Amino acid sequence: MSFKVTVIGAGSIGFTKTLISDLLKVPEFVDCEFALTDINPHNLDMVKQVIETIVSVNRLPAKVTATTDRRAAISGARYIMSCVRVGGLEAFSTDIAIPLKYGVDQCVGDTICAGGILYGQRNIPVILDFCKDIREVAEPGALFLNYANPMAMNTWAADMYGGVNVVGLCHGVQHGAHQIANVLGVTDDELDYVCSGINHQTWYIDIRARGRKIETDELLDGFEKHPVYSKQEKVRIDVLKRFGVYSTESNGHLSEYLPWYRKRPDEIGRWIDMSDWIHGETGGYLRYSTERRNWFETDFPMFKEQANKPLSDYKRTSEHASYIIEAMETGRVYRGHFNRRNNGIITNLPDDAIIESPGYVDRFGINMIEGVTLPTACAATCSVSVSVQRLSVEAAMTGNIDTLKLAVLHDPLVGAICTPDEVWAMVDEMVVAQAQWLPQYADAVPAAKERIAKSTVKTRDWDGAARKRVRSVEELREVVGGHH
């Protein structure tokens, strides 16, 4: 069978290579067309070389095209994947640096919190442009597979306003499951589980190891005794202890979605492990991304070398995309965890929320399992974030800066740290700093600049409580300055 798959943001070479290699492991897909598009022609050329090498070495009939013309890449596609980061590292640096001045200490800042909300404001207009192209030139009924963060906000906008069939995909569930299998002394294949919640706040509400149901006490005991996780996952273990269920999300991610662990500088160190950025380092993902900002250049020879190996040596990953497409095209049923509009799937979350929960895929599409009820504490935590996401999407759609400020004000971590006056000043500063990526706020920028000039709100001389490599805001911005 032959059909067209488009990857938007294909200049993310390693991830694009993974997605397409996974698809080429499906025998029926070896003669598909893979259309690559990106705003960076240099990266696009590199990834095209890698994918063409894989196709050539394995003597496959697949067709590979690459163009900076996104609409041309989407034309006639049956499946469209998005892996974009609007604003790149330059915008990302302000997501982290400006909130720090107001005491908001983020590890990642790409889902909610001040950074994640502004990230959504940048992404949503672009996501809706993708949707317009999909509606107008893609194959009728095409599926939009969104891998880009903030997952829930992007998927919410595409679902409610984009007019396309969309699913959000993330690998956090698989990674957390691997930890649980390790703690219980079983292989990944011997572990069965049901996860449900919202993206990055999903919960393992039922766990079976070799068919035996695992209770909270056994899981907690295993994590507390584990020589590595007991040090790296202190927030997740504390939440497990209090909520009775384990979270899918890494220690650093989870710590910034809740109001309790990152609000006092002298307390943050108690919950953070500095062995790797993902365990909670202040601005950890920004530092990691900044230091590896040219990794695609240095690693390009490695990708080309890998591409020269036969696909028979390649092990298909656990990324959902290839399995979803395989199920829809061949009828081979796939079970995974997907981001879709709730509509009663989770009984104690709002119907309009984008939830992450189990579903099955076959020729009839993605079929979610309905009637899931979260533990009350999990539902309460998720509901707060859903309200923030709803306000954030509304702000992005209307360009109303007051709605945006209300979204940031209601964020759990921001609300635990900042006064309303501080939130208003912080959002003004972020919107002005990111104006080039926020077209919907163009009319609001002049007034925001005037308020900044007259502001009496005091910021804090603080560069974060958990830094692996101390770097001033000015140094960070100098490193990423001009990078898109």
Element (H, E) at 445: helix 445-454
356's tokens: 């992450």
What is the Cα–Cα distance from 314 to 322, expressed in whole angstroms? 14
Please give the Cα distance from 85 to 274 (Å, whole number): 26
Judge contact between 280 and 273, C-beta under 8 A: yes
For residues 236 and 246, is the Cβ–Cβ distance under 8 A?
Answer: yes
Cα 247–272–383 angle (5° rounding)?
35
382 near 198, Cβ under 8 Å? yes
Find out whether 170 is annotated in a ligand binding site: yes
Q: How far apart are CA 284 and CA 302, in angstroms?
A: 25
Q: What is the DSSP letter of 313?
A: G
- Rounded Cα distance between 309 and 26, Å, is 17
Start-to-end CA distance of the chain, whole Å, equals 38
For residue 247, the SS3 value is strand
Please give the full DSSP string across 392-441, using - where no structure is assigned: HHHHHHHT-HHHHHHHHHTSHHHHHH--HHHHHHHHHHHHHHTGGG-GGG
CA–CA dist 16, 14 (Å, integer): 6
**Mind telling me the catalytic residues?**
171, 257
**Which structure tokens are listed for 269?**
């160190």
CA distance 380 to 257: 13
Distances (CA, A) of 480 to 61, 86, 115, 287, 464: 41, 14, 16, 10, 19
- Residue ranges for the known binding site are 149, 170, 200
Output the known binding site for substrate. Answer: 149
Binding residues for Mn(2+): 170, 200
